[in-house]
């Protein structure tokens, strides 16, 4: 029997030594435990992670367990399946499918990620969406540490990265990550919390890092059957010699308060509306939609109706909570007024006695 609410991040990494300690530390400090799957990194990712063992880092697992004789391909399907297995075997209330170059936060000031997940759980939802904020490098000075202290400008995520249903409640039944390529968890009776959480993403952290990651750590290790499914397309079109440094003038300065306001407005309902509109436009440009695409659009439309209803219920509950709080404040103010009256009366009597 667990004595407290428990969330575990299932974190996979390959050659992320410059940020892995900061990512793990942030999760642990936010009330989230970590299970690390190291995809046989060739840098010091593992040694950077080890100091967190027994401090919130549950285990460092080498994947695959036996190295492939032809090298180490990037078997994303295998990693996702391993995460599905861990979600079925580890003891937790909630899980997160987490990458090694991202930081996740609750959208409310003063509330840590673990607390935010627990609040969502109390409201009866079983899945959390995230809005991605990409932070490209604008100079080449980052070396190692917490990238949030260095990267100050952000851009919107690409269409392929906007679906981020990667945090879910464990109800003891199997979940699926492979069908969506890890972008959406498949769980029975999925109820997505209407307000997305924050995800700061740092995929490229400098010129040398970008070149190594794309041309050595990733592109040469992709599996053809996964590419055929339109996975790993984020680096398509990038050629040798490309610059990975962005012009700050093309980006937005990061303001956490402004971002949190946008998260309140950019809720799961409007996100699904945008997805439906983009999908319909893309299908129209291709000259029609397939039966499978039409079925998916229908499913999304139904999900949208459910989310709209859930959002209305949530807003009603929030309004009632605010009204109850205001009534309580008014009651306390009246009580304080009565106490102040008694204090003044006591001072008056003491003055008369003198």
Residue identified by tokens 């299908």 is 283
Distance between CA atoms of 347 and 340, rounded to whole angstroms? 11
Q: Is pLDDT of 268 > 60?
A: no
Confidence band of 126 (pLDDT split at 50, 70, 90): very high
Average pLDDT, the chain: 87
Residue 152 has pLDDT above 50, yes or no: yes
Query: 292 in a domain, yes or no?
Result: no
pLDDT higher than threshold 80 for residue 312: no
pLDDT of residue 346: 82
Q: Give domain status of residue 89, yes or no.
A: yes
Give a yes or no: residue 72 inside a domain: yes
* Range scoring the smallest mean pLDDT among 137-151, 213-227, 316-330: 316-330
Of 31 and 327, more confident: 31
Give yes or no for residue 60 having a pLDDT over 80. yes
- Prediction pTM value: 0.76
**321 belongs to a structural domain:** no
- Give dist(CA 229, CA 140) in Å, integer: 34
Domain range enclosing 219:
7-266
Question: What CATH number is given to the structural domain containing 25?
Answer: 3.90.550
Q: Check residue 288 and give its pLDDT.
A: 55
Q: Give the Å distances, CA to CA, from 38 to 7, 16, 41, 44, 323.
A: 20, 10, 6, 11, 49
Q: What tens digit of pLDDT does each residue of 175-209 get?
A: 999 999 999 999 999 999 989 999 999 999 999 99
Higher-confidence position of 336 and 89: 89
Place of tokens 């400090």: 29
320 within a domain of the structure (yes/no):
no
For residue 49, pLDDT over 50 is answered with yes
| Average pLDDT of span 18-45 | 97
- Cis amide prior to 240 (ω within 30 degrees): no
**Count of structural domains, the chain:** 1
Structural domain contains residue 199: yes
Q: Is the pLDDT of residue 301 over 80?
A: no
* pLDDT of the residue at 330: 74
In a domain, residue 315? The reply is no
Query: Residue 337: which pLDDT band, with cuts at 50, 70 and 90?
Result: confident
Q: Could you tell me the pLDDT band of residue 308, with boundaries at 50, 70 and 90?
A: low
What is the reported pLDDT for 2?
A: 47
More confident site: 106 or 66: 106
Tokens of 193: 């919390």
Predicted pLDDT at 43: 96
Residue 42, pLDDT score: 94
pLDDT above 80 for 277 = no
User: From edge to edge, which strands make up the β-sheet containing 197-201?
Assistant: 102-105, 197-201, 130-134, 153-156, 252-253
Q: Which residues pair with 201 in a beta bridge?
A: 102, 134
Give domain status of residue 163, yes or no.
yes
Contacts of 191 by beta carbon, 8 Å cutoff, 6+ apart:
124, 125, 126, 127, 306, 310
């Amino acid at each position: 029997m667990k004595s407290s609410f428990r969330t575990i991040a299932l974190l996979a990494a390959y050659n992320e030594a410059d940020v892995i300690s900061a990512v793990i530390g942030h999760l642990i400090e936010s009330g989230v435990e970590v299970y690390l799957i190291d995809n046989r990194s060739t840098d010091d990712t593992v040694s950077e992670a080890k100091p967190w063992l027994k401090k919130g880092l549950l285990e460092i697992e080498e994947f695959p367990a036996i190295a492939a004789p032809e090298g180490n391909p990037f078997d994303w399907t295998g990693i996702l399946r391993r995460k599905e297995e861990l979600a079925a075997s580890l003891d937790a209330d909630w899980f997160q499918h987490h990458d090694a170059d991202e930081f996740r936060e609750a959208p409310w000031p003063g509330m840590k990620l673990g607390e935010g997940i627990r609040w969502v759980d109390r409201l009866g939802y079983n899945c959390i969406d995230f809005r991605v904020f990409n932070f490209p490098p604008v100079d080449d000075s980052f070396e190692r540490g917490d990238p949030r202290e260095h990267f100050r400008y952000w851009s919107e995520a690409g269409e392929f990265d906007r679906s981020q249903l990667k945090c879910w409640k464990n109800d003891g039944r199997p979940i699926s990550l492979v069908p969506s390529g890890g972008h959406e968890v498949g769980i029975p009776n999925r109820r997505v919390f209407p307000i997305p959480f924050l995800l700061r993403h740092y995929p490229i952290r400098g010129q040398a890092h970008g070149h190594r990651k794309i041309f050595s750590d990733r592109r040469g290790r992709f599996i053809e059957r996964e590419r055929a499914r339109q996975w790993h397309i984020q680096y398509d079109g990038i050629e040798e010699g490309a610059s990975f440094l962005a012009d700050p003038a093309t980006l937005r300065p990061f303001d956490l308060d402004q971002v949190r306001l946008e998260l309140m407005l950019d809720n799961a309902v409007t996100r699904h509306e945008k997805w439906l509109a983009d999908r319909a436009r893309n299908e129209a440009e291709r000259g029609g939609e397939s039966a499978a695409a039409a079925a998916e659009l229908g499913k999304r439309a139904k999900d949208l109706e459910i989310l709209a209803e859930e959002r209305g219920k949530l807003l009603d509950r929030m309004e009632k909570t605010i009204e109850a709080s205001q009534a309580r404040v008014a009651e306390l103010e009246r009580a304080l007024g009565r106490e102040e009256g008694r204090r003044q009366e006591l001072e008056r009597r003491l003055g008369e006695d003198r």
